[in-house]
Structure 1
Amino acid sequence: MTHGPSPDTKHPIAAQPRLVYLKTVITNPNIIVGDYTYYDDVEHPENFERNVLYHFDFIGDKLIIGKFCSIATGVTFIMNGGNHRTDWFTNYPFPVFGQGWEVAMPNEWPYKGDTVVGHDVWLGYDATLMPGVQVGDGAIVAAKSVVTQSVAPYTVVGGNPARQLRQRFDDATIQALLEIQWWHWDIAKITRNLTAICGADLAALRQAI
């Protein structure tokens, strides 16, 4: 019995070269992507890293994306290098240009930490995630949303700035799913229990544990 495409396959659907398993095309060590997470882009799926903006090595912030995520065309991540000092009288980053302007170099620039996307997250078309946000497991970010604050697990958010639209399930079901963490099962177990994972019967999923 087969257990789906290998997570090391670049194009897991041979007839759809627009879709790539993302970890196979990442070269930046500060972008960490879990198995089976895919990026869909009809023009340049291999160039996902161009969507991770202001991601400078000297800052060291990370973009961390979990397993089994679905990332649509045009999803963009703004990293900490895009932050300016807003407590100054000017927005202009004079010190970075040097040649005498480095005299105003601050001890630190704004830094909001790593950007973390959980497991089984769906990021819709043209969504933008701002620096340091955390998107919980099972969450959905609607198309063209701008995520400025962290998103709770199994929550649907949308808009600019993104706001909670609804929870996908009741609190008890969400808690159970976060405890089950099916995405950490080995792939053979996932395959055996796909009808439960691809369903909405919590009792059936519990039986698979």
Structure 2
Amino acid sequence: MSIEILPDLLGVFFFAVSGCLLAARKNFDLVGSLLLGSLVSLGGGVVRDLVIGQLPAAFSNPLYLFPPLLATLLVFFLYSGVEKTKGLLTVFDAAGLALFCITGTVKALDAGLNPVASALLGVTTAVGGGLLRDVVANEVPQLFNRHDIYAMPAFLGSALAAVCYLTGILNLSTGLAIAVVVFAFRLLAWRFRWHAPLAVWRRKA
């Protein structure tokens, strides 16, 4: 199965909205919102494409420039009506994460990388943009938030995508099912504050 452009563009849009929402929360201007939305939505894919030796899709296909622009305009006009909605940024971020871990893995497999490297590159695609977004906006990156689980859903989605790809059952239906699982995992982890063990084990007194 070759990578489908529609899921990739949807992932770009969802991540771009998360970046623009953060920009609005930080009182960035319109240009800053567009840049942050573009950074989070295209950054992971650029890293992925450079690793596999391809011209990044963000620079070779003009379609990839429209989702960040659309997200910027939507947040500009609608933010005042949704700014009190808790977790909206996390919802859009989770949707982008769910799609990018799959499309990133599939693109790496299509390029001839082995399954393990492809899954790792899928995770990089999924979490890379969010990491850049949080660092640029002077936020503690969700990737390193000890009270949350961010990368583990992406690892699960990338692994499932690689297995389905290798067994020949990866299609739009199975891809959507994987995305739903990753999306739900991410939101449940955020809602119930699931977290991974700390780097150092401490014996309870």
Which structure is richer in relative contact order (CA contacts within 8 A, separation 6 or more)? 2
Which of the two has greater helix per residue? 2
TM-score, normalized by the shorter chain, greater than 0.5: no
Smaller-chain TM-score range?
A: under 0.3
**TM-score, with structure 1 as normaliser:** 0.24
Q: Which has more radius of gyration? A: 1
**TM-score, with structure 2 as normaliser:** 0.25
Which of the two has greater strand per residue? 1
